[in-house]
Amino acid sequence: MRKSILCLLIVALTSVAAIAATPTVVFDQVATKVTAAPSALLNPDNLWITLEDLKRATGFVVKPQGICRGELCFPIPKARRNAFLSKQGRVTWFNLSEFARLTKQPAAMDKENALWYFGPRPAEQNGYVESLIAPDFTLPDINGQKHSLSDYRGKKVLLITWASW
């Protein structure tokens, strides 16, 4: 009896570890399966991924000048380098959660489904404010017909929103 309970516990823990080890990252509205560091189970508030997964999921790479994508580059603070990078064996892990905090990028995590969402950085969010042009979006009306804001460019539009919270 004890042996079968122990076996069930091991299977359950292995399943949890497998789910946590292959989270999905949503970055720039693109979902990518990544490999998380085994230590992520100890601190699930930080998502440590491989440098290869960093490039695949975000387009960013680690360079001597910082974390870069094209001309966009964020220097890694020297005093906090260990908060961003960790070498374990032959694998270098990158803390994507710490990068989001550095860039003030909103992030949300669903532990149950091993899903991490990273929203647009403030510079991207506020770009619409400067131009006074609302970002395009598509929503269904009460009959299910989809309407996009871009369909009404040049016309006056009144948007009424409501939320229960």
What pTM was estimated for this model as a whole? Answer: 0.66
For 91, list phi and psi in degrees, rounded to 5.
-100, 130
Q: Nearest CA to 44 among 84, 95, 101?
A: 95
Residue pLDDT, tens place only, 71-124: 999 999 999 999 999 998 899 999 999 999 999 999 998 888 888 999 888 777
Q: What is the largest CA-CA distance in the chain?
A: 73
In this structure, of 6-15, 19-28, 133-142, the range with the lowest mean pLDDT score is 6-15
pLDDT over 50 at 15, yes or no: no
Three-state DSSP state, 31: strand
Cα(58)–Cα(97) distance, rounded to whole angstroms? 12
pLDDT over 80 at 165, yes or no: no
Residue ranges in 22-121 assigned as alpha helix (H): 51-58, 81-84, 96-102
Cα(149)–Cα(136) distance, rounded to whole angstroms? 5
**pLDDT value, residue 135:** 79
Distances (CA, A) of 134 to 106, 129, 140: 20, 8, 18
